Structure 1
């Protein structure tokens, strides 16, 4: 599929897809006319890349991680190194801390909403 179709099907801009290629996160073949041609599995790869970015993982770390991640095309082509496992454990711990912070923020908002709703219902 061409870059425009991949962008449409994943919701990711063509510019971002080109960036992913430049970072070694995504690959494409070239048509005789020089256009990028992506395999169907690129959709899942782009979605996975987006998930990693959303988790706050950097491009270099994603590049290390992707070969170790099972995709729809079969499985990991490399085994994760002990260093990568350690690094990813640190990332997971960071995400857990962020989740805890977000839960606390939500609790504060819930209290404010409950208080505001209670004040509005008694006529004060």
Structure 2
């Protein structure tokens, strides 16, 4: 593979996160990274986010984020995570993916999700 060939799947997700200035690591098929919440009641808090890229990423977005610590989400659709008991899965599809199939677009989606958190959500 040469650098001129496009990346797909987890490699493309990791590369995009690195371009965004994030350090990633792998665990159980997930790409994990520390994410500092930018807006909303949790602004400044650092959480861990786990994303699972489809083999055809960026054509298909990652599923909703896996989040550690468990914060809950006011719009519901929060489930146990395959990453362990400290994690939860937010079933929140990436908004507007068809218009922007990029890591930057997915990071905007994360920013929106974290901005929606309630002040009263458990730590």
After TM superposition, the score normalised by the length of structure 1 is: 0.30
Larger Rg: 1
Which structure shows the higher strand fraction?
A: 2
After TM superposition, the score normalised by the length of structure 2 is: 0.30
Higher relative contact order (CA 8 A, sep 6+): 2
Which structure shows the higher helix fraction?
A: 1
